[in-house]
Amino acid sequence: MLYIDGSSNASRVGAGLILIDPEGNVVGYALYFELSTINNEVEYEAPLVSLKVVREAGAEHLKIFSDFQLVVRHIKGEYKAREENMKEYLQKIKDLISAFLSFDIQQVSRANNTRIDVLSKLAALLPIDLDNRTYFEIFKASALEEPLVVLQVDEEPCWIDLLLKYLRSGELSTDHKEARKIKKQAIRYVLYDNKLCKRSFSLPLLKCLHPFEADYAL
């Protein structure tokens, strides 16, 4: 379940998210948008960010609760988005929603959304101290601004490639010694969402990165 609220003042815009997983664990997100925007846009920025967060976490079923009537009714198809930027936001949200096995969004009253309202207002005030179950993030660009896609033309061969080939198609090196090594190594790895991850006894799956991806991540 995901609860969303946004807040703005004369100079800052913030949003509060609270995620509750099936086991009842609660995580809060205070988001600060360092960009020129209006209230309606903030109401879309927060759902876009949160949908990406829950998808990355592996969620397949999602219920959203928000006190923003306009956004909720746009998503449910009860209102029609007329402005071009609202249409763009709505399409991006629908694209993300389509990845879930089940999805629902409901409007809640502001009185029932108190904790989220506090988080969003705190985010708009910046800087703030938050407890260890609340994450804070700053966004300098709108979700409508697509990141620049860079074509990697000089990617060097990497040990990841050999494991990916084997796990995806069973393809092995013609070198018998190398083939045995890959088979033995592959036991500790798994494909998740078509990406190579290392198994761990006490940690979540560890995503494997090519050198250029690791440099970018750092």
pLDDT (tens digit, 9 = 90+) per residue, 197-209?
998 777 788 899 8
Answer for the pair 4, 65: CB distance below 8 angstroms, yes or no.
yes
181 and 85 part of one domain: no
| Number of domains, the chain | 2
60 and 123 part of one domain: yes
18 and 108 part of one domain: yes
66 and 133 part of one domain: yes
Q: Which of 40, 66, 63, 60 is nearest to 144 (CA)?
A: 40
The answer to whether residue 154 sits within a structural domain is no
116 and 165 part of one domain: no
| 105 pLDDT tier (thresholds 50, 70, 90) | very high
**Chain mean pLDDT for the chain:** 76
pTM exceeds cut of 0.85: no
The answer to whether residue 146 sits within a structural domain is no
Look at strands 2-8 and 61-66 and give their pairing.
parallel
The enclosing domain of 95 has a CATH number of: 3.30.420.10
127 and 169 part of one domain: no
Identify the DSSP state of 34. -
Q: What angle do CA 26, 117, 56 make, to 5 degrees?
A: 40
Say whether pLDDT at 133 is over 80.
no
Identify the DSSP state of 151. -
